[in-house]
């Protein structure tokens, strides 16, 4: 057996401490049915504190399954998931707002679940709605809000969980291009101001490049990490910019190759 030895540090060298991780996925495999192929197999992923990571892959590759494992909604068949936050905040494609409550009431409900005192809920809900540029719409009910506004309320509700880790499962997929672009700007601003660690699942390659500091590509089943890209394009980024388009084209080509390999 070949042994690998690390070079010993010199006497006067002090090794730097490892960078803090917001999310660490170590050798995770997930099997839903005995005798069936795994949905995820040997997945390793680390998300640094304050990092914005986008997960890409074909439908059914296990992106949402991986997000659910990080959220603590399921337990992996094998491997380990560690999250720095006690309870990550979640945001999904559907805003899932309670229609009989106002925008502010939906946010206050999350604050109540967190144990925030009754007297402080309204003030905090108004602050969070202001953060997502809905400060003047708190008294509106769900049916009075546009699709983009509903997703902003859902984002404010997620932020009400007061977590440093935000998990997002295709939250803008059902929106039109203009609304989606506006929400990209809002999310980038909130991520920066709140110093969040974000794991964002999407099928949209340009969206991933527009938002992420790192784009991670997953294979089709079983889902594995097959390639990563660092996105060094400075902010503010426009989804139609040549730099975003060029990297998106490179990632799309690799995604097509991965889908073709699976098809064979």
With tokens 């720095």, the residue in question is 84
Domain spanning 21-88+164-263, CATH class: alpha beta
- 179 sits in which H/E element: helix 177-194
Confidence of residue 15 (pLDDT cuts 50, 70, 90): very low
In the predicted model, is pLDDT for residue 9 greater than 70? no
The answer to whether the CB of 38 falls within 8 A of the CB of 175 is: no
What's the rounded Cα separation, in Å, for the pair 24 and 29? 14
Average pLDDT over residues 237-259: 93
Task: Give φ, ψ of 90 to 5 degrees.
Answer: -125, 145
Three-state secondary-structure class, residue 71: helix
Token couple for 71 = 């959220």
Of 42, 45, 38, whose CA–CA distance to 197 is shortest?
45
Rg of the chain, C-alpha, whole Å: 20
In the predicted model, is pLDDT for residue 8 greater than 90? no
Residues of the chain with CATH 3.40.50.300: 21-88+164-263
The overall pTM is greater than 0.85: yes
């Amino acid at each position: 057996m070949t042994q690998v030895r690390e070079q010993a540090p010199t006497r006067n060298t002090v090794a730097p401490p490892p960078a803090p991780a917001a999310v660490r996925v170590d050798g995770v495999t997930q099997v839903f049915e005995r005798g069936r192929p795994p949905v995820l197999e040997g997945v390793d992923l680390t998300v640094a504190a304050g990092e914005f990571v986008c997960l890409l892959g074909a439908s059914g590759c296990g992106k949402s399954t991986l997000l659910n494992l990080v959220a603590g909604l399921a337990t992996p068949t094998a491997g380990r998931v560690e999250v720095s936050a006690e309870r990550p905040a979640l945001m999904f494609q559907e805003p899932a707002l309670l229609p009989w409550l106002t925008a502010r009431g939906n946010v206050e409900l999350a604050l109540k679940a967190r144990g925030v005192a009754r007297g402080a809920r309204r003030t905090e809900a108004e602050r969070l709605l202001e953060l997502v540029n809905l400060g003047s719409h708190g008294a509106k009910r769900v049916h009075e809000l546009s699709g983009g506004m509903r997703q902003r309320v859902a984002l404010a509700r997620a932020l009400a969980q007061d977590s440093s880790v935000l998990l997002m499962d295709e939250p803008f997929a059902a929106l039109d291009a203009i609304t989606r672009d506006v929400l990209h700007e809002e999310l980038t601003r909130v991520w920066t101001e709140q110093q969040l660690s974000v794991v964002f699942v999407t099928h949209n390659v340009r969206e991933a490049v527009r938002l992420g500091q790192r784009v991670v590509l997953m294979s089709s089943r079983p889902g594995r990490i097959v390639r990563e890209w660092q996105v060094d394009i400075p902010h503010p980024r426009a989804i139609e910019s040549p730099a975003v388009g060029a990297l998106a084209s490179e990632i799309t080509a690799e995604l097509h190759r991965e889908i073709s390999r699976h098809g064979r």
